[in-house]
Amino acid sequence: MDVKQQKLNKEYQEYVQRKMPKSYLLRDCVLAFLVGGTICTIGQAVSNFGKSYFNLNTEEASAFTAIVMIFIGALLTGLGVYDDIGKYGGAGSVVPITGFANSIVSPAMEFKKEGYVFGVGSKLFSIAGPVLVYGISTSVLVGLIYFFVK
């Protein structure tokens, strides 16, 4: 690409950036705070419920909470409600573990027509896969480093 075209591109891109309609950052953040906060509060209630009714210890309660929250996220995605929450909640509905469930169910459901192995089976992990890859790999790395510096 010649220099003149590069200059033109740069000018155009800067001009587009300047003129582009902006996201309403403040509004988005307030909504993300409220939605995310609400989901976490529900999580806290689930955790307390597990502790008092099933006498779970802290670690068991956190696994119990994860399981219940993932169930809720998967169910709401199936019912077609979670994407409506996501439209307003933004990161508030993406970042909690319910969003992780949403990212698993939504592609799997969408690609069901491609069959149960390459449709549902493989698409379950189209977004969750990378999360597990990097999450688990980091935990192994953390464990190894911990082993050597301990």
Partner 1 sequence: MAKYRLGGQTVRLENPPCILSRATIVGKKEGEGPLGEYFDVVLEDDMWGEKTWEKAECRMYQEAARMAIIRAGKQPQDVNYLLGGDLLNQIITANFAARTLGIPFFGLYGACSTLTESMSLGAMLINAGYADLVLCVTSSHFCTAERQYRFPLEMGTQRPPTAHWTVTGAGAFLLSNDEKPPYITHVTTGRVIDYGITDTYNMGAAMAPAAAATIKAHFEDTGQGPEAYDLIVTGDLGWFGRELTIDLLKKEGYDISDRFIDCGCEIYSREQDVHAGGSGCGCSAVVFGGYILRKMEEGVYKRILLLSTGALLSTTSTQQGESIPGIAHAITIDMDRG
Partner 2 sequence: MEYLRAFVVGGLICVIGQILIDKTNLTPARILVCFVTLGAILTAIGVYEPIVKFGGAGATVPLPGFGYTLAKGAMKAVDEMGVLGAFTGGVRAAAGGITAAVVFGYLAAVLFNPKMKR
Binding interface with partner 1 (CB under 8 A):
8-10, 12-13, 15-16, 19-23, 28, 77-78, 80, 82-87, 89-90, 93-94, 99, 102-103, 105-107, 109-111, 113
Site for partner 2 contains 38 (CB under 8 A):
yes
| CA–CA distance, 94 with 123 (Å, rounded to integer) | 18
Residues 46-75 that bind partner 2 (CB under 8 A): 46-48, 59, 62-67, 69-71, 74-75
Answer with the entry of partner 1, partner 2, none that 85 interacts with (C-beta below 5 to 8 A by kind): partner 1
∠126-33-125 over CA atoms, to 5°? Answer: 10
* Cβ contact 132:125 at 8 Å: yes
The kind and range of the H/E element at 137 are helix 125-149
| CA–CA distance, 100 with 143 (Å, rounded to integer) | 24
Residues 64-123 that bind partner 2 (CB under 8 A): 64-67, 69-71, 74-75, 77-80, 83, 89-92, 94-101, 103-106, 108-110, 112, 116, 120
